[in-house]
Amino acid sequence: MPCLSLHRFPCMLTNCIFFLSLLLAYMCYLNLQIICSSDHVLQTPFQGWLMAIVMALLSGFAGVYTEAIIKKRPSRNINVQNFWLYVFGMVFNLIAMCVQDFDAVMNKGFFYGYSFITLCMILNHALSGIAVSMVMKYADNIVKVYSTSVAMLLTAVVSVFLFQFNLSLAFFLGSTVVSVSVYLHSVGKPQK
Protein backbone atom coordinates (compact mmCIF):
# COMPACT_ATOMS: atom_id res chain seq x y z
CA MET A 1 0.00 0.00 0.00
CA PRO A 2 1.54 3.31 -1.02
CA CYS A 3 2.38 5.70 1.70
CA LEU A 4 0.70 9.08 1.79
CA SER A 5 3.37 11.73 1.60
CA LEU A 6 2.85 15.26 2.83
CA HIS A 7 4.01 16.89 -0.40
CA ARG A 8 1.06 15.29 -2.26
CA PHE A 9 -1.52 16.37 0.33
CA PRO A 10 -2.26 19.84 -1.17
CA CYS A 11 -2.92 18.26 -4.57
CA MET A 12 -5.21 15.63 -3.03
CA LEU A 13 -7.02 18.33 -1.05
CA THR A 14 -7.46 20.38 -4.21
CA ASN A 15 -8.93 17.38 -6.05
CA CYS A 16 -11.23 16.68 -3.10
CA ILE A 17 -12.50 20.28 -3.09
CA PHE A 18 -13.00 20.16 -6.86
CA PHE A 19 -15.10 17.00 -6.71
CA LEU A 20 -16.98 18.30 -3.66
CA SER A 21 -17.98 21.34 -5.72
CA LEU A 22 -19.30 19.04 -8.47
CA LEU A 23 -21.24 17.01 -5.90
CA LEU A 24 -22.79 20.19 -4.48
CA ALA A 25 -23.83 21.32 -7.95
CA TYR A 26 -25.44 17.95 -8.62
CA MET A 27 -27.31 18.04 -5.29
CA CYS A 28 -28.55 21.54 -6.08
CA TYR A 29 -29.79 20.39 -9.48
CA LEU A 30 -31.68 17.51 -7.88
CA ASN A 31 -33.11 19.86 -5.26
CA LEU A 32 -34.41 22.22 -7.93
CA GLN A 33 -35.97 19.34 -9.86
CA ILE A 34 -37.79 18.09 -6.77
CA ILE A 35 -38.95 21.58 -5.76
CA CYS A 36 -40.24 22.42 -9.22
CA SER A 37 -42.10 19.14 -9.66
CA SER A 38 -44.27 19.00 -6.55
CA ASP A 39 -44.69 19.57 -2.84
CA HIS A 40 -44.20 15.86 -2.13
CA VAL A 41 -40.83 14.28 -2.79
CA LEU A 42 -41.98 10.74 -3.58
CA GLN A 43 -45.01 11.66 -5.66
CA THR A 44 -43.31 11.17 -9.04
CA PRO A 45 -43.91 7.74 -10.62
CA PHE A 46 -41.12 5.41 -11.62
CA GLN A 47 -41.34 6.34 -15.31
CA GLY A 48 -40.80 10.00 -14.45
CA TRP A 49 -37.67 9.21 -12.49
CA LEU A 50 -36.41 6.96 -15.26
CA MET A 51 -36.98 9.65 -17.88
CA ALA A 52 -35.26 12.26 -15.68
CA ILE A 53 -32.21 10.00 -15.32
CA VAL A 54 -32.11 9.30 -19.06
CA MET A 55 -32.44 13.04 -19.78
CA ALA A 56 -29.59 13.85 -17.38
CA LEU A 57 -27.35 11.18 -18.92
CA LEU A 58 -28.10 12.29 -22.48
CA SER A 59 -27.60 15.94 -21.56
CA GLY A 60 -24.26 15.19 -19.93
CA PHE A 61 -23.14 13.07 -22.87
CA ALA A 62 -24.21 15.76 -25.33
CA GLY A 63 -22.30 18.44 -23.43
CA VAL A 64 -19.09 16.42 -23.25
CA TYR A 65 -19.41 15.29 -26.88
CA THR A 66 -20.00 18.86 -28.05
CA GLU A 67 -16.95 20.02 -26.11
CA ALA A 68 -14.87 17.23 -27.66
CA ILE A 69 -16.05 18.11 -31.18
CA ILE A 70 -15.33 21.81 -30.69
CA LYS A 71 -11.88 21.21 -29.18
CA LYS A 72 -10.95 18.49 -31.68
CA ARG A 73 -9.88 21.05 -34.29
CA PRO A 74 -8.91 24.24 -32.47
CA SER A 75 -7.76 25.92 -35.68
CA ARG A 76 -11.21 25.68 -37.29
CA ASN A 77 -13.37 28.79 -37.15
CA ILE A 78 -15.93 28.62 -34.33
CA ASN A 79 -18.78 29.62 -36.67
CA VAL A 80 -17.96 26.76 -39.05
CA GLN A 81 -17.92 24.37 -36.10
CA ASN A 82 -21.31 25.72 -34.95
CA PHE A 83 -22.76 25.16 -38.40
CA TRP A 84 -21.59 21.55 -38.59
CA LEU A 85 -22.75 20.84 -35.05
CA TYR A 86 -26.24 22.13 -35.79
CA VAL A 87 -26.73 20.43 -39.16
CA PHE A 88 -28.39 17.54 -37.30
CA GLY A 89 -30.72 19.98 -35.54
CA MET A 90 -31.68 21.55 -38.85
CA VAL A 91 -32.43 18.14 -40.38
CA PHE A 92 -34.56 17.00 -37.43
CA ASN A 93 -36.44 20.31 -37.29
CA LEU A 94 -37.10 20.15 -41.03
CA ILE A 95 -38.50 16.63 -40.64
CA ALA A 96 -40.67 17.72 -37.69
CA MET A 97 -41.93 20.72 -39.67
CA CYS A 98 -42.84 18.52 -42.64
CA VAL A 99 -44.63 15.99 -40.44
CA GLN A 100 -46.51 18.42 -38.18
CA ASP A 101 -46.98 21.68 -40.09
CA PHE A 102 -46.57 20.88 -43.77
CA ASP A 103 -50.04 22.14 -44.81
CA ALA A 104 -49.77 25.36 -42.80
CA VAL A 105 -46.32 26.13 -44.22
CA MET A 106 -47.47 25.45 -47.78
CA ASN A 107 -50.65 27.53 -47.45
CA LYS A 108 -49.49 30.45 -45.31
CA GLY A 109 -45.72 30.48 -45.76
CA PHE A 110 -42.81 29.64 -43.49
CA PHE A 111 -42.74 32.95 -41.64
CA TYR A 112 -46.49 33.25 -41.05
CA GLY A 113 -47.22 34.38 -37.51
CA TYR A 114 -43.71 35.66 -36.83
CA SER A 115 -43.66 38.93 -34.91
CA PHE A 116 -40.90 41.26 -33.82
CA ILE A 117 -40.73 39.42 -30.48
CA THR A 118 -40.36 36.09 -32.32
CA LEU A 119 -37.43 37.47 -34.32
CA CYS A 120 -35.85 38.83 -31.12
CA MET A 121 -36.15 35.40 -29.50
CA ILE A 122 -34.54 33.72 -32.52
CA LEU A 123 -31.68 36.24 -32.42
CA ASN A 124 -31.33 35.74 -28.65
CA HIS A 125 -31.08 31.96 -29.03
CA ALA A 126 -28.58 32.27 -31.88
CA LEU A 127 -26.36 34.60 -29.85
CA SER A 128 -26.70 32.35 -26.81
CA GLY A 129 -25.57 29.39 -28.92
CA ILE A 130 -22.51 31.30 -30.09
CA ALA A 131 -21.70 32.31 -26.50
CA VAL A 132 -22.05 28.71 -25.29
CA SER A 133 -19.78 27.45 -28.07
CA MET A 134 -17.16 30.06 -27.10
CA VAL A 135 -17.32 28.85 -23.49
CA MET A 136 -17.04 25.23 -24.65
CA LYS A 137 -14.06 26.03 -26.89
CA TYR A 138 -12.07 28.19 -24.46
CA ALA A 139 -13.19 26.68 -21.12
CA ASP A 140 -15.12 23.44 -20.57
CA ASN A 141 -18.55 21.90 -20.08
CA ILE A 142 -18.47 22.33 -16.29
CA VAL A 143 -17.87 26.07 -16.64
CA LYS A 144 -20.88 26.19 -18.97
CA VAL A 145 -23.05 24.45 -16.38
CA TYR A 146 -21.87 26.79 -13.64
CA SER A 147 -22.41 29.88 -15.79
CA THR A 148 -25.95 28.69 -16.54
CA SER A 149 -26.58 28.19 -12.81
CA VAL A 150 -25.30 31.65 -11.96
CA ALA A 151 -27.39 33.14 -14.78
CA MET A 152 -30.49 31.49 -13.30
CA LEU A 153 -29.67 33.00 -9.91
CA LEU A 154 -29.18 36.46 -11.39
CA THR A 155 -32.42 36.13 -13.37
CA ALA A 156 -34.30 35.29 -10.18
CA VAL A 157 -32.78 38.27 -8.34
CA VAL A 158 -33.68 40.62 -11.20
CA SER A 159 -37.19 39.11 -11.25
CA VAL A 160 -37.63 40.11 -7.61
CA PHE A 161 -37.22 43.76 -8.54
CA LEU A 162 -38.98 43.75 -11.91
CA PHE A 163 -41.85 41.30 -11.34
CA GLN A 164 -42.14 41.12 -7.52
CA PHE A 165 -41.07 37.47 -7.58
CA ASN A 166 -41.07 35.96 -4.07
CA LEU A 167 -37.99 33.97 -3.18
CA SER A 168 -38.63 30.87 -1.08
CA LEU A 169 -36.43 29.31 1.57
CA ALA A 170 -35.72 26.43 -0.82
CA PHE A 171 -34.52 28.91 -3.46
CA PHE A 172 -32.29 30.64 -0.91
CA LEU A 173 -30.78 27.32 0.17
CA GLY A 174 -30.33 26.23 -3.45
CA SER A 175 -28.65 29.50 -4.38
CA THR A 176 -26.34 29.16 -1.39
CA VAL A 177 -25.34 25.67 -2.51
CA VAL A 178 -24.74 26.93 -6.07
CA SER A 179 -22.63 29.84 -4.78
CA VAL A 180 -20.53 27.59 -2.54
CA SER A 181 -20.15 25.07 -5.36
CA VAL A 182 -18.99 27.74 -7.82
CA TYR A 183 -16.52 29.07 -5.25
CA LEU A 184 -15.16 25.61 -4.46
CA HIS A 185 -14.82 24.84 -8.16
CA SER A 186 -12.86 28.02 -8.81
CA VAL A 187 -10.60 27.46 -5.78
CA GLY A 188 -10.20 23.71 -6.02
CA LYS A 189 -9.65 23.12 -9.72
CA PRO A 190 -6.85 20.54 -10.12
CA GLN A 191 -3.61 21.84 -11.56
CA LYS A 192 -2.51 20.36 -14.89
Q: Is residue 173 part of a domain?
A: yes
Q: Is residue 192 part of a domain?
A: no
Answer whether 0.75 is exceeded by the pTM. Answer: no
Q: Which region holds residue 189: left if phi is over 0, alpha if psi is between -120 and 50, else beta?
A: beta
Q: Is residue 48 part of a domain?
A: yes
Burial level of 171, CB count in 10 A (0-12/13-18/19+)? Answer: middle
Q: Is residue 101 part of a domain?
A: yes
Q: Give the total number of structural domains in the chain.
A: 1
Q: Is residue 1 part of a domain?
A: no
pLDDT computed for residue 1 by the predictor? 39
Q: Is residue 116 part of a domain?
A: yes
Q: Domain of residue 60: give its range.
A: 7-187
pLDDT computed for residue 39 by the predictor? 52
* Residue from 141, 143, 161, 139 nearest 151 by CA: 143
Q: What is the pLDDT of residues 100-144, one digit of tens each?
A: 988 988 999 888 888 999 999 999 988 988 888 888 888 888 888
Confidence of residue 45 (pLDDT cuts 50, 70, 90): confident
Q: What angle do CA 101, 81, 111 make, to 5 degrees?
A: 25
